[in-house]
Amino acid sequence: MPSGLIALLDDVAGIAKLTASSLDDVAAAAGRAGSKAAGVVIDDTAVTPRYVMGLTPDRELPIIWKIAKGSLRNKLLFLLPAALALSAFAPWLLPPLLMLGGAFLCYEAVEKLLEAIQGGHDVAEDALTTHSSRELEDQKVSGAIRTDFILSGEIMAIALGTVASEPIWEQAIILVVVAILITAGVYGVVGFIVKMDDIGLHLAERSSAGVRSIGRAMVKAMPVLMAILGVVGTAAMLWVGGGLIVHGLHEFHWDAIPGTIHHLAEGAALALPAVAPVVDWVVNAVGSGMVGLVVGAIVVAVLHLFKKH
């Protein structure tokens, strides 16, 4: 009996170690998947604050909460089952779908660049004059959730591509972890950004001169931060979108472009061995971004041509 009990305890200990190891693997894979989707996450963070512009301060956080719930619903109820079905029954579809998603990101980035060059049109102001506050809120929430669905689809697809070789149950757990953490992270940061000027104004009214200086600095930094987020978000879309296309070309053994970028990165890293990893990453990112810019420009030109006809 004692030997049987000891054997049972050994088995339990073995299962516990295996479970802990599996959880470590899941956590590591979730981290890799999340980092691969970082470019889309940055763009999601940059885009969302625009949807609360024109609303009263007391409605900003409730609107962000509504958008966050819609985003999580998109990921868990629609995109997660679709991703797992794709992984189980048609994994060969993942590379071309990722390339299509990458092309869409590149298109969006180039459209943003064209809008910035030509001078954007403030849709929020028009909406304020033509809709009631309730209609405006509903319109902004539905628009944000639609946009988020596309970006969330990219995030889940990129995450799935990172863990496609894992067992299906691990894929499911990893995608759930990525969905929850990214949604919490994005909308937590968005909430802070949209309330940053209010926090700054509150601090600017305090008695301490140092606190007042911090508050005024936060208020002044708000438009600068929004501008930086817009630039970083656009650059991230080109980098991620171009990277997905470059990786897809490599998967299909069309290695002219991926090979050229790889050799350039390798050569630059060898030339600067002290900072080789950084240089390698920068050259790969710039190369992917240039591919993204070209692909996005082609898609924009084709779509504009079709619109004319």
Q: Tell me the per-residue pLDDT of 116-128, one tens digit each, with 9 for 90 and over.
A: 888 754 444 444 4
Residue 120 three-state SS: coil
Widest pairwise Cα distance in the chain: 84
Angle, CA 138 vertex, CA 132 and CA 142 arms, to 5°: 145
Q: What is the pTM of this model?
A: 0.72
Q: Give the start-to-end residue ranges of the domains of the chain.
A: 7-232
User: How is 144-165 classified by DSSP, letter by letter?
Assistant: HHHHHHHHHHHHHHHHHHHSTT
Q: What does the block give as tokens for 210? A: 């140092």
Specify whether the CB–CB gap between 292 and 239 falls below 8 A: yes
Q: Tell me the per-residue pLDDT of 130-158, one tens digit each, with 9 for 90 and over.
A: 445 777 788 888 878 887 787 788 788 87
Q: Which of 232, 162, 272, 245 is nearest to 264 (CA)?
A: 272
CA distance 267 to 283: 10
Position 95 pLDDT exceeds 50: yes
Say what the pLDDT of residue 35 is: 57
Tell me which of 309 and 216 has the higher pLDDT.
216
Burial of 84 (0-12, 13-18, 19+ CB in 10 A): middle
